Amino acid sequence: MSQQYIIAHDVGTSGNKAALVDTEGKIYASAFQPYAVHYPRPDWAEQEPEDWWRAVATTTQQVLARSGVSPRDVVASVYMTQMIGIVPMGRVGADAGPAPTYEPLRRAIIWLDGRAPQQAERIMHKFLGRHVFAMVAGAELSGKDGLPKLLWLKENEPEIYDRMACFLDVNGYLTYRATGKMVFEWSCASAFCLDLKSKDWMRWIIRYIGLDQAKFPPLVRSIDQVGGLTAEAARACGLLEGTPIFGGGGDAPGAAVGSGAVGEGAGHIYLGTSGWVGVVTRKTPTGSHGVASIQSADPAKALLFSEMETAGACLKWIADEFYQAEQADPNVVNVYALMDQKVETIPPGADFLICTPWMYGERSPVSDTWVRSTFFNLSADHTREHLLRAVYEGVAYNLRWMIEIVEKHFGFPLPVLRVIGGGARGTPWMQIIADVTGRRVETVANPQEAGAVGAALTAAVGLGLYPDFEALGKVVRVEREFEPQACNAEVYDCLYRVYRRIYGCLRELYHEVNEIRFRECGS
């Protein structure tokens, strides 16, 4: 019997990463295809759905070509994607017959978009305010959440909303392009309004806030075979018609699987464009303190999910704004490797310079659309490299705050942090996180591919190759460990205490400035 492979896609904000993975999680080939994010107004973020599909088709062909694997040996394909996207789908033509086709009615509104703070406030007002809503739904709403954005669509683009047969997210759109079926996977749906106990849409909330239940698609599990590749999709991807497509899911649940932290109470950190702390559990805890409780890729578990909006994006910002010359230098192969070298020339604590990494609003540990980044205690003695180290450390301070919330308010101790995502490749950043949090940090082989590996292993469970998700804990192996250095604890503890106070001291100023800015931009 020939070797069997799964093609997994980790469909992120900046591009799609495809991996050809065997049924034991080993990567044989990978490919990346970038695509654009459009920012038509401040706090808006949109993408073209066709760009996602084009990237999926292109990278599928590339991994097949690079590996030399025959399409006959590909037993499944699966997508793990950015969450909280909205793609309004409308029927093509007035009468498309018994098998109608659908297409996007506008650009997708993606997770990074924060256009709907007024709608979020009004929804929570219907529940007698933020506190009551949080008790009912598990967390406060922000302008970045899915339900407020759907309400924004209804109020501001009514012709689109009325024509919309249903809305899909990124995962649902790609599944539709692959199979012709419009569905919503459980973990992705839980970022909107899935009841974690009944595994159904919270229909009464949908109805109560004024949205149309008929526009919410049927639900599927991550491990369900939704269908097979259509002839058209197979041609685009270079695969066989009928190749099974599984439900897949959101990037965070998929990454949790790829981290190997799949047992009860196991936790992980993801460092990509955004960042998060996640813990899987058989319990169905109610979200609070900026921590959401969503569906895990494992149908039997929930995922406690504490997300910060910009983590690796902060490093990209400082690379683009302060290391332009180095990026243009042909002798510099990797600007991030250079930044890792530079950051080690600055002492821990960056000579008492603090950066808050809230570049595009924040979800956790503070839930606030209006907050932004700040360099605190900047002096003439600080150099470009001090700012660089402060950014690395600022993300670590934010992670420590999130971890402490998970431990204190949810009762899940996290003495060991399994870190995945592209950020986990940088040795200095891993040591900084270990030192700031006082916890051992572990990384796995190919941490930037954890999402794709998690997607592939999810499909492997769906194929019946593993009895359950907990069996995958032995598949993913730790490659490196970082122990906290006690000599750095004093300075980091001091600066962390100050970091925790910055938001409370500046909150009103953030709101005053950015609410005016938002209004003046005509939103």
pLDDT mean by block of 10 residues, the chain; 523 residues:
91 94 95 96 95 98 98 98 97 72 97 93 89 73 93 98 98 98 97 94 94 98 98 98 98 93 93 92 85 93 92 96 96 96 98 96 88 97 98 98 95 95 95 98 92 96 96 92 98 98 97 83 55
In a domain, 343, yes or no: yes
Do 330 and 182 lie in one domain? The reply is no
- Residue count of the chain: 523
Q: Residue 372's domain is classified under what CATH number?
A: 3.30.420.40
Tokens for 417?
């942090």
In a domain, 334, yes or no: yes
Do 274 and 359 lie in one domain? The reply is no
| Strand segments (E) across 25-73 | 27-34, 46-47
CA 248 to chain centre: 14
In a domain, 411, yes or no: no
Nearest to 295 by CA among 181, 202, 197: 197
In a domain, 408, yes or no: no
How far apart, in whole angstroms, are the C-alpha atoms of residue 16 and residue 59? 8
Q: Give the pLDDT score at 1.
A: 60
| Number of domains the chain is built from | 3
State the residue for tokens 């922000």. Answer: 142
Tokens for 221?
């599990």
How far apart, in whole angstroms, are the C-alpha atoms of residue 150 and residue 68? 44
Tokens for 196?
């974690």
In a domain, 296, yes or no: yes
Do 26 and 131 lie in one domain? The reply is yes
Nearest to 137 by CA among 119, 124, 150: 124
Q: Which of 203, 225, 247 is the last residue of a domain?
A: 247
Distances (CA, A) of 397 to 29, 92, 274, 384, 500: 35, 49, 15, 20, 8
Do 241 and 271 lie in one domain? The reply is no
What letter would DSSP give residue 117? H
Query: Residues 6 or more apart from 172 whose CB is under 8 A from it?
Result: 87, 182, 183, 184, 185, 188, 217
Cα angle 92, 94, 96; round to 5: 60
How far apart, in whole angstroms, are the C-alpha atoms of residue 405 and residue 411? 9
Tokens for 491?
């300075």
Model pTM score: 0.87
In a domain, 414, yes or no: no
Do 475 and 503 lie in one domain? The reply is no
Residue 201 belongs to what domain range? 5-247
Q: Give the pLDDT score at 284.
A: 86
Cα angle 266, 271, 276; round to 5: 50
Do 44 and 142 lie in one domain? The reply is yes
Distances (CA, A) of 385 to 67, 239, 391: 41, 48, 10
Do 11 and 101 lie in one domain? The reply is yes
Give the alpha-carbon dihedral of 295, 299, 301, 303, to 10 degrees: -30
How far apart, in whole angstroms, are the C-alpha atoms of residue 10 and residue 63? 14
Radius of gyration, CA atoms only, the chain: 22
Nearest to 440 by CA among 431, 453, 427: 431
Do 265 and 201 lie in one domain? The reply is no
CB 106, CB 91: distance < 8 Å: no
Q: Which of 206, 222, 247 is the last residue of a domain?
A: 247
For the purposes of burial, counting CB atoms within 10 Å of the CB of 145, is it exposed (0-12), middle (13-18) or buried (19 or more)?
A: buried
> In one letter, which amino acid is 384?
R
Nearest to 510 by CA among 390, 403, 366: 366
Do 301 and 318 lie in one domain? The reply is no
Q: Which of 218, 247, 276 is the last residue of a domain?
A: 247
In a domain, 405, yes or no: no
| Strand segments (E) across 14-56 | 15-22, 27-34, 46-47
What letter would DSSP give residue 204? H
Helix axes 312-322, 335-343, angle to 10 degrees: 100
Query: Phi and psi at residue 182, in whole multiples of 5°?
Result: -100, 110
Do 506 and 436 lie in one domain? The reply is no
Do 320 and 358 lie in one domain? The reply is yes
Distances (CA, A) of 374 to 11, 94, 178, 457: 30, 52, 43, 40
The Cβ of residue 286 has, within 10 Å, a number of other Cβ atoms equal to 16
Do 512 and 459 lie in one domain? The reply is no
In a domain, 96, yes or no: yes
How far apart, in whole angstroms, are the C-alpha atoms of residue 444 and residue 467? 23
